[in-house]
Every structure is written in structure tokens, then in C-alpha cells.
Amino acid sequence: MSKIGKKYTAAFNQVERKPYALEEAVPLVQKIKFAKFDETVELHMRLGVDPKHADQMVRGTVVLPNGLGKSKKVLVIASGDKQREALEAGADYVGGDDMVNKIQNENWTDYDAVIATPDMMRGVGRLGKVLGPRGLMPNPKTGTVTNDIAQAVKEVKAGKVEFRVDKTGVIHVPCGKISFDSQKLIENAQSLLNAVVRAKPAAAKGKYVKSVTVCSTMGPGVTLDVTPYNLKATA
């Protein structure tokens, strides 16, 4: 077991063992930060679903109103005029089969998001072993397989994030940087929480949002009061 540092312990001791409202939790996470870099603020949501059942899978996307604090590097795999659209929309890398081959042959992953047109998915489908484990595989459900390339690129650049429940029923998702204004972080977190609530599967029974923790990369977690989100989920 690794030794817990003094700075972490000091931060941990400032967090009461109680559920906090989001408006209290975010400023507290910012107050107790101790790392010297600009940490990411994350939400960890434990849901009352069983992801082993396809009808209880929770996944989706949301464009954060205040972005993530960094511009994502976007790769677009398309053909013809769609490549030009991608470049004009601000994509960082654009190509067709040449990009598929580069990823396949070089295990190339120097990008944060991949968007593809439907006609390119036969080739992109071969990249599952490289893109899948990194959560980068294009998918129509998340808007990353589309003919509206310009819109997709703009959304990712604006702060679109994907959330997906893992096999233990937990969603881990970033909502901004510790240096953000508190209100902007709160707005981002609220947007994420609302999006997960809207994505509640019809097959989910009982309490949907079991627990939510907000924390920075290195800091201790602050527990949120989940009551408001369960009221929305069952309305």
C-alpha cells in the first residue's frame, strides 16, 4: 500500500463526511488543491444499472458550455469534398485510407478524437484493436460517424465529451480544469449530470444515480448530494 502524503492528508481533512450540493463541492475541490499543475476536475458517477445487459448500457455525449480548457486534436477520416469540409472546420489531421493505414501500421494515436464518414467505416472498422481500448473508435451513437463533418469537428473542438458506463456501473468523465472560474466548472458539471440523467435506460430499476464524487486529478473526492438527480430521473 502506498504511503499517503501530508498534502493529500491535509486536503482530505478539509472535506466533511457528508453529501455536498454541487455549488458547495466545486469551490471546495478548488480550495483544497495542492498539485503544482493545472489539474483536471472529474466526475465519478456510480449508477444503478447492470452494463452486462445491453438494455442497461448508459452512453452519450454532451457539449460542455465552457469547454475542457484545452483544444482537442481531431482526426477526420473521410473522402472527397468531406476532407475539405474537415480542414475548413478546424480538424488537425485529415485523410482517407492513408490515415487508416498509418494507424494500422504505425499504431499512431497522436489525437484526442476520431470522426469518420459512413463510407469510410469499412476501413476504419479494422482499427478496433488500436482505437477501441483508447475510447477513440468512431460511433454513430456519439456523432462521430456522420456526413455532417463540419458540425462534428466544431462540437469536439467546443468541448464535446463522451461518457460511457464501465463494466462496474461507473462513469468517469472530465468537466474542466481546476483553474476555471467556479461558476464555469459548476455549469459544466451540471450539464454532464443532466445528460447522464437523460440517458437513463428504460430497463434501469430502483435508484439510478447511486453516488457522485467530484475531485481533481490528485485531490480527494467530495461526495455530492444525488437527491436532485434521482428526482429528475424518475420524473
- CA atoms of 167 and 113, how far apart (whole Å): 22
Cell of 137: 473508435
Residue ranges of the chain assigned to CATH 3.40.50.790: 74-157
- CA atoms of 95 and 78, how far apart (whole Å): 6
Is residue 12 within 8 A of residue 158, CB to CB? The reply is no
Q: Which fold has domain 74-157?
A: Rossmann fold (3.40.50)
Reported pTM: 0.78
- CA atoms of 56 and 165, how far apart (whole Å): 10
Per-residue pLDDT of the chain (235 residues; tens, 9 = 90+): 345 689 999 999 999 999 999 999 999 999 999 999 999 999 999 999 998 999 999 988 898 999 888 778 999 999 999 999 999 999 999 999 999 999 999 999 999 999 999 999 999 999 999 998 888 999 998 889 999 999 999 999 888 888 999 999 999 999 999 999 999 999 999 999 999 999 999 998 889 999 999 999 999 999 999 998 887 544 3
The class level of CATH for 6-67+160-234 reads alpha beta
Residue ranges of the chain assigned to CATH 3.30.190.20: 6-67+160-234
